[in-house]
Structure 1
Amino acid sequence: MRKLLITICIFITLLSLTGCNDYDLKKPLAKIENRVITIGDFVEYYMRATKNGRPVSIPEMNTKNDVKEFLHTLLIKDALVIEAENRGLYEREDFIQKLNRKQSNIAIEDLEKTITAGIEVTDEECMDFYRHISKELVVNAISFNTKKVAQEALERIRNGEEFDKIAREYDPYWSETGKAKEGVLTYSFHEGIAETMELKEGQVSEIIKVPTEPGYVIFKVIEVKPREVEPYEETKKGIKRYIEGYKKRKVIEEYQNRLLEEYDFEIYEDNVRIAIDGTDEDIRKATEEKVILAKIDDEYLTFDMLFPTGEPSELFNKVKEESKEEAFESLLEIIRKGAKNKLFKKRALELKGYEKPEYQKELKDLKEEWAIDTLYEEDFRPTIEEPTDEEIREYYYKNKEWYDDPAEVTTYIIKVENEDIANEVYEKAVGGEDFNELVKKYSIDEPSKKHNGLMILLEDDEDYPEIFKSAFESEIGDITPPVEASDSSGYYIIKLVNKKPRKEHSIEEDNIYRKVKRDLIHEIETSEDVDAKCREWMESILNKYEYEIYKENLDETLRAVRDKIKERGPVPVIEPTKKKKRKILY
């Protein structure tokens, strides 16, 4: 298995430590070629490797032999890195591209941090936001592809036509399902939401731009009601993060707009109109030929940024059908956004934030992880025999249930302390009282209560078998009589919203065959036999290089790492993971 190799990659994060107590963290513990492992290096690697728990493959650090064992792993890691350097792996194009991408990401992140460093969020701003989220609106919504059509619909509503009638005419969801598109609206900084939150029952909002995708929406307020929120002190941090994130996005956007004004930027609108006035074939041809859409100084944006596959999306075609000008403006906005991102990246790379000392460890980690993974993939993995078709099929039939889609139930649940309360709540629920309100009033199950009682479970769920069984045996819309929790911690009243039976799959399906093959290869790679061979391979690389352990410093290292473990506190032992059935979705 790659257990040791994976452990090595975990260790690759290295921080500098300063001295403490009666040991010197800068003392050398081992040396391989020109690379030195200090006591501080050893302690930091060990603490990071056991941060969330100690894998059984990592020693507990009770003796000098434990130090030697873990140190041996670090020596193997360094040997693999030296081997990669000697083979010139870092001069390869695939590594250079990976490094450039990482440097770009770091440079962009650093520029964002620099220009947003002065942002502050006051207590008054947090409290004001908290006051606004103390209510929520139950709304019906009509969705539109374009503002032009949304304006037509809103004008008809303002002139007295029924909201529901307009909804069925304009929104396919309403007409195809026969149901209202209902939701809950809460306060946010998105344009138009603050004003909508001031509406009363029965009132209709202005047109609001959908933030995450092209489109617009009009809301009708069905109910205004108080929202159950945690006390201010418990929500303050989250509110502060939200406001801070909003302010940062605004600052970055303003910075990008200024950049666009600084540079020579021109959009070739005639070329953009190929997407509006041309045929699908014209669009494919323009994408393939990378027709120029815009110029920024000496750089260009080309047609493939609009339609990477060469095919316009169904949504874009609908927008174009309703309003060519809105479709055109949407493309111009994509181009402007692409130009701003390109300029932001260009400025970030000019500033070379990735050269700052605080990022060097991250770049070193990338370098070492890539080297180790590349050596494994190119040297050792080819020695592992691929499973035959017969072995793949045998593995499938042994584990067939892993590849079926399990039965699923979508429920709302109320958990209460005892049977008497459960019977009382059940009578209220079947008597017609609002189930979600009963959840808020009675349920003691906090995770589901945060989602109005929603709980989605998969077949053979290990934690809530009683809920799945009772719900799956019910009909959609049914409310079950009280069901005792399997751990005797209370009783559940369950309302079934939807259920799906188990769906079986066949090994003859291409995607299933590939998945079975991947799983079998993973099982082979993690077998004891392959693990032993992998260790032999790594040992063979270590033995190519001269290394030395400074045994006189082992005791000091043991004291240092044990002090750090004591300071952190105990962590659980992590057993090797086994393949588990998919189970719970909350």
Structure 2
Amino acid sequence: MIRIIRSLIIISLLSILVFAGCELGEKEKDTSQILAEWDGGTITEKQFNERIDLIPEFYRPRGGFTIEQKQKYLDDYAIEEIFYLEALEKGVDKSKAAQDFYHQNAERIILDMYYKDTIKKEIKPTEEELMAFYEAHKDDYYKKSPTANLLYIETETMEDANMAYQKILGGADFVEVMKEYSINENIKKKDGKINNVRKGGYIPNVGRSDELDSLIFVAEVNDVIEPIKINETFHIVKVIDKDMSTVRPYDDVEEDVKNRYKSEKEQELRQQLIEKLMKKYNVIIDSAAVEAVDYAQADTSAAAGAVVLISSNNPDLVYTAKEFAEEVSLLPDQRKQTLQDEKGKLDFITSKAQNDVQYIDAIKKGYENHPEIKNELHRAKMIGTLREYYKQYVADKATVSEEDIEAQYEQDKEKRYVKKPNARIKQFACENKVTADFVLFKAKEAANDDELNALIQEYCTKKDNDGVIGPIYEGGIIPGVGKDDTYLEKVFSTPEGEFSDVFEDAKGNWVFFKVIEYNPKSYQSLDNVRNEIVSNLTKKAQRDLFNNLKTEIRQKYNLIVYKDRLEEKLPADSLFSLAEEAMTQKNYARANYYYDKIIEQHANGQNDYKAKFMKGFIYSEYLNNNTKALEMFEEVLTYPKEGTVTDTTLHPSARYMIKALTGEEDILEKINQQSETKE
């Protein structure tokens, strides 16, 4: 039930809310046009666009929102607002469920703001502090291996390697020698360069070699290392650059230094703040009592439940064993497991005390009215209220009777719950009819399955599983054969335990079979599918109730949504460009959407003419919908329309496509003919 409520609320009611909020306090005067209005409220174009703009890129459709999508968002936005008014009128916001939801989310929002103000804003590191942090931790976080950049030659023989080496020593350019002698085509493409080789690491295109590694990092820059054999080939290396430092420089890691410094400083300041607040509110954790908590006793025994685990001079911070047991009971099983030992219990209580004391301090300092989180807190209240409203007036009222369940079962059983007739057979597949007739004669004389199996192994071409195949369903396929109507007809006309006659199957095998099991048509029982039916009927009942409720509340609050005010008429050239872009992205449905807009908004006899041709092309070439394609191409040939002027240069192409789609013209043959003519 919880999952249903959550998903339906998110999908049907709060589709925008999760992405953005609206300003509820004082605003600048908004003079943009009104897109929706009701008794007591409006949505302006500015408000709507602010919501759309705040939707994360990840959730935005490729190519942007269509007018239809924007219109749906607008309608959802307006419905959300009037549902909230209705929920407030009925006092749903004061229900325990709505209040609990609000407090759970408000605590997180308030603590985040409190933490930001009391800790994060206090951290303003100077350059000297960051440099000191870097010096103190560079061996912990910023160690690195020496690196070198190389020029490299690989040869098949030592002779070639020595010749190349001597040329280099004689003053020849290393890269030119590499091009002449190296057999490594991959490195040739890079002009012989291998960059960023780490000391003690893997050398690209060479592998690991302790000997070569040591030679590289003792060599001086511009030294050429004489040929060395590694993995059956010979290698010459020139060191062109070397960095022997073992610590990354500050400039390279400055951002990471800042982040690490801030993180450590945050932990330090947080600990100081908690210690200060624990003293201020005289918060004391009774460790022995925490470790001794028995959840069952604390929940059922008044004496055990009254044991104080957290004491304080502020009553809101006092926490008893019974409250602990109740809170733990609501946790997932995996989390409960971590609270069975003494350490787990104490860690939980310590964390709770620390969070609670910060929250109480934040409330006392007025953070519940902090202007920067006013909207978030309102959204938390709104979501909790709407969730509970939906539960009370939709989910809880959507009931399904036994008569409804039985009627739905009868209505769906032929389509959803039928078990088609099926059979299992022992198949005898032979190379020719003579063999098959002989095996059938012997099979009818067989005394048992062992003798039948022996016949299959000796005479038949398909011996797997001793010829047993199935289940074979009425109207289905024959395993190993495929679709074969004659075979199927024989399977379901041969009585169980009997042999069929010999016939040729769709694969050209001469076969007969024995029906070893036949199951007539049957149905899944109502009990087996009851949960599915109840779930589907409940969802439908909830949808119907919700839609009826929307209609009632629209009327009650006189809601008017001006969807037409969201229409934006782009120039034809822009729409053609958008369509072409969609096609390059293989989003053909989107391309057709833009062509439809051209047809609808720019019906001047020319733009709509081109758009219809392009729709026909998409249907025929990409969507495999020849019917729609023909419809479009035939429509193209009706131009020019009365009162318009059309450049009919696409008419020949449209006629050609019609012939191709109807089989009057073979496109491939036409292309071949044109090619031969050119030759």
TM over 0.5: no
Q: 1 or 2 for the larger relative contact order (CA 8 Å, sep ≥6)?
A: 1
Structure with greater Cα Rg: 2
Q: Normalising to structure 1: TM-score of the pair?
A: 0.44
> How high is the TM-score relative to the length of structure 2?
0.39
